[in-house]
Chain A
Amino acid sequence: MVKITFRIWILIIALMLALLMIYPRFQDGVVIKSVDKDYKAFESGLRPGMEILEINSIKIDSLNKYLEVTSDLLKDSSEKRITVITKKDSFIFLDSNLSAITVSEIPNSNIKTGLDLSGGVRALIKPVNGSLTDLEMSDLIDITNQRLNVFGLTDLTVRSAKDLEGNNFLLIEVAGAAPDDLESLIAKQGNFEAKIGNVTAFVGGDKDITYVFRDATQSAVYTPEPLGDGSYLSRFSFTITLSPEAAQRHADITNRLSIDPNSGGQYLSENLTLFLDGELVDELRISSGLKGQVASQISIQGSGIGSTPDIALSEARTQMHKLQTLLLTGSIPYQLEIIKLDIISPSLGEAFTKSMIYLALVVFIIVSTVISIRYRKIKITSAVILTMFSEMFITLGIAALLRWNLDVAGIAGIIAGIGTGVNDQIVIIDESESKDNYSMKEKIKRALFVVFGAFFTIIAAMLPLFWAGAGLLRGFAFTTIIGVTVGVLITRPAFADLVKQLGSQQ
């Protein structure tokens, strides 16, 4: 019978605490991560955090099921009745599809996975010329937050980040599924200008534009038309309200224009051209009736082109969304560039997680088999297996406690940590079973010299990663260090006690 020593008690308590931290639970389904405020789904009352049980009477028990149902909805683009039943309520609205909301699987433990596994968007942004002052950075964070808020995201982080060389970046992170057109709003300077001839009539931002219509009555995307070359074009239009000053300026400019004789008197001689960050968005003819008129409502138009009707349609929708948001939030007074942009699909991450768990299991079985073949003692083999398992479990518990996001490199770090753990145990067993004339206590002490030596070299090797590369590999360094520390402080002493007892029993 194994006597439960103080060190073994510590291990047992650590295991129980880890279980409490990880808090595994078994629940199927998906939870809403974001709801776009411009869509009917939002109007009907759907909000982030709600758990979806059914859509149009189809039970949603997994992310794949959800994706299946939503892609079925996409097959026909007509408006239809969509019924969403959540845990607490049911919501009914008319829309063509469910692209307004993004979802993720209900987590089945407190362990959080990183962007590369749970999906999401990570962007690093810096100004094209030089660096930003703290004030400029906080302005940039505000505008970016405003722009991204139209998506109603729950897990959105916008903050500044510094690297080893003191460069500062804007870091944007969205965990889980992210709306497709998010990308088009990141790092756009958003300099909108409406020109008639060479004269600026109005610009983006709340000084000239007091309201941007985004509901279906005054904003629309039209059915794609084929262009000659095999691609398709889909137009969009929406209405904006100009401030009195901007409307007056517009009237003064049109007043000076003549009527284009080639148009049969229908249009004025100059067009209204719309530019975004120096690029032409669209060119509109001005009807001759508007000459000198103070018009406070103006229709903004544009288009999206794609190789299929669907691509054209979604391109037009993205363009419209982008333009509406940029008109609302105004521009950023310097050019920005995206220096890193990762958009990770949640469903791919799921496949990766599955294969890593599978691999970890295979490795676990192989190592256990090898150990049992070498030592041929069931007690020792089970002590090694138990220790391997405890080490992984306690490390995961600590990650859950610290709300650490486990990414791919982090998981590799945990596995590598367990590898060093096994090595240490081999040292302890061999040392304790040696036929030296030392006492058992002395043998264990010698083994622990090697164990601690290896421990300190690993810590030393991992430390620089906390700072290098904007901290992108911090997860790897962190989990490795936590793993080996748990090994040395908690599981190794307990294992040494177990081996001591098993050794003296023989």
Chain B
Amino acid sequence: MEQNNQEQHHEGNKHWYDRWHKKMLLPPVVLLIICLIYLFSFYSQNGDIIYKDSSLSGGTTITLKAELNIEELESYLEQNVDNVNIRKIADLSTGRQIAILIDSSAEPSVLKPLVEEFIGYKLTNENSSVEFSGSTLGKNFYKQLVTAVIISFILMSFVIFVLFRTFIPSIAVIFAAFADIVMTLAMVDILGIRLSVAGIAAFLMLIGYSVDTDILLTSAVLKKRGDTVNKRIHRAFKTGIFMTLTGLIAVIPAFFIVTGLPDSFRQIFLILGVGLFADILNTWLTNASIIKWYSDYKKIN
């Protein structure tokens, strides 16, 4: 009985998909264009396509093991230094504030005495961590990491071409990965996340991570025979969407446990989460539509 239902479902699917697959390409493409326009205007406003934290733009981060009033400290510091950003870090199990994170573009020699004056005792290696990056080094790192992202994208494209050895299906996979990155970047900017060195590494991870469902889909269409193309896409979808959803569910705790994790760690998970979400769209609307179109055109069955 269940078997029958599924078959009927497939039949229904086929009609529906044959008629709609080209139109399904539209929403992700429109969204991609919106994201690109957004990133472009973001760039013209901020001089870059992301917000950078002190590890990339230069500045100081002080992590202080203390319970105190964040607002008071923030307004106190804002009178004296630029770009102050304060967050609290809480214990995962008890929710108690265990530390605060102070980020500023000032040098430690300026920021440290100010914080010491506010809290009334000396910052030592036991009660605090101080991380400082010079602004030239930050810029240098940023430049090199952006180069790394580009090289990584080119290497990934190369692997895809070697795997499938056909032009349009390979381009479809690469286009989907590109759209993943652009949409994630736009979302990260909208959320106002200040990217760290680790955050950029997450984009590299995303390049590697997002294409596995595309490979699954493309190989199902190109390398299998027997069922109709629609059925093969549907089966790949069932497997692939489960993979992505499992991944999403796995990164979700990091969204909620906002305060107890190292910032770099949380950023990697946030970016992977947003990226996986974008990947659902780009694999099953963008890539699937292109490969379906291609297989109709090439009469693959």
| Complex Cα gap A476–B7 (Å) | 45
Q: Per a CB cutoff under 8 Å, which of B126, B127, B158, B264 touches A409?
A: B264
Q: Which parts of A447-471 form the interface with B (CB within 8 Å)?
A: 449-450, 453-454, 456-465, 467-470
Are the CB atoms of A427 and B126 closer together than 8 Å? no
Residue of A nearest to B131 (CB): A342
Are the CB atoms of A311 and B125 closer together than 8 Å? no
Residue of A nearest to B135 (CB): A339
In the complex where A164-B144, A311-B122, A416-B205 touch, is A351 in contact with B98 (Cβ < 8 A)? yes
Residue of A nearest to B250 (CB): A363
**Interface size, A (range):** 35 or more
> B13 at the A/B interface (Cβ < 8 Å)?
no
Are the CB atoms of A476 and B198 closer together than 8 Å? yes
| Complex Cα gap A371–B145 (Å) | 36
> A163 at the A/B interface (Cβ < 8 Å)?
yes
Are the CB atoms of B269 and A422 closer together than 8 Å? no
Residues of B within 8 A of A124 (CB): 137
What is the distance, in angstroms, from A411's C-beta to the closest C-beta of chain B?
7
Are the CB atoms of B212 and A423 closer together than 8 Å? yes
What is the distance, in angstroms, from B250's C-beta to the closest C-beta of chain A?
5
> B219 at the A/B interface (Cβ < 8 Å)?
yes
Q: Which parts of A148-167 form the interface with B (CB within 8 Å)?
A: 163-165, 167
Residues of B within 8 A of A348 (CB): 63, 65, 99, 128-129
User: Contact flags (1/0) for B147-162 with A, using CB distance below 8 Å?
Assistant: 1110111011011100
Are the CB atoms of B145 and A469 closer together than 8 Å? yes
Secondary structure type dominating chain B contacts = helix
> B295 at the A/B interface (Cβ < 8 Å)?
no
> A306 at the A/B interface (Cβ < 8 Å)?
yes
Are the CB atoms of B117 and A178 closer together than 8 Å? no
Residues of B within 8 A of A356 (CB): 261-262, 265
Q: Which parts of B221-254 form the interface with A (CB within 8 Å)?
A: 223-224, 226-227, 235, 238-239, 242-243, 245-247, 249-251, 253-254
Are the CB atoms of B132 and A464 closer together than 8 Å? no
> B172 at the A/B interface (Cβ < 8 Å)?
no
| Complex Cα gap A180–B264 (Å) | 25
> B79 at the A/B interface (Cβ < 8 Å)?
no
Residues of A within 8 A of B158 (CB): 460
> B167 at the A/B interface (Cβ < 8 Å)?
no
Are the CB atoms of B134 and A337 closer together than 8 Å? yes
In the complex where A180-B125, A341-B108, A356-B261 touch, is A461 in contact with B205 (Cβ < 8 A)? yes
| Complex Cα gap A464–B154 (Å) | 11
| Complex Cα gap A361–B197 (Å) | 26
| Complex Cα gap A177–B126 (Å) | 8
Are the CB atoms of A345 and B261 closer together than 8 Å? no
What is the distance, in angstroms, from A365's C-beta to the closest C-beta of chain B?
10
Q: Per a CB cutoff under 8 Å, which of B148, B163, B212, B219 touches A446?
A: B219
Residues of A within 8 A of B254 (CB): 359
> A133 at the A/B interface (Cβ < 8 Å)?
no
Are the CB atoms of B152 and A345 closer together than 8 Å? no
In the complex where A359-B261, A468-B145, A468-B147 touch, is A461 in contact with B133 (Cβ < 8 A)? no
What is the distance, in angstroms, from A425's C-beta to the closest C-beta of chain B?
9
Are the CB atoms of A307 and B116 closer together than 8 Å? yes
What is the distance, in angstroms, from A486's C-beta to the closest C-beta of chain B?
16
Interface-lining segment among A50-58, A243-251, A429-437: A429-437
Are the CB atoms of A308 and B120 closer together than 8 Å? yes
| Complex Cα gap A430–B93 (Å) | 37
Q: Per a CB cutoff under 8 Å, which of B121, B204, B260, B268 touches A308?
A: B121
> A472 at the A/B interface (Cβ < 8 Å)?
yes
Given contacts A347-B65, A370-B245, A427-B243, list 18 more A-B pairs with CB under 8 A: A340-B134, A342-B132, A345-B129, A346-B125, A354-B92, A359-B261, A409-B198, A416-B272, A419-B247, A420-B208, A423-B246, A424-B212, A426-B243, A430-B239, A453-B163, A463-B155, A464-B155, A469-B144
A binding-site residues for B, Cβ under 8 Å: 67, 116, 119, 124, 163-165, 167, 177-180, 306-308, 310-311, 314-315, 337-348, 351-352, 354-356, 358-359, 362-363, 366-367, 370-371, 374, 408-409, 411-413, 416, 419-420, 422-424, 426-427, 430-431, 434, 436-437, 446, 449-450, 453-454, 456-465, 467-470, 472-473, 476-477, 480
15 contacts between A and B (CB under 8 A): A167-B140, A307-B116, A311-B116, A341-B130, A341-B131, A342-B129, A343-B130, A351-B98, A355-B261, A426-B242, A453-B212, A454-B215, A461-B207, A462-B205, A469-B145
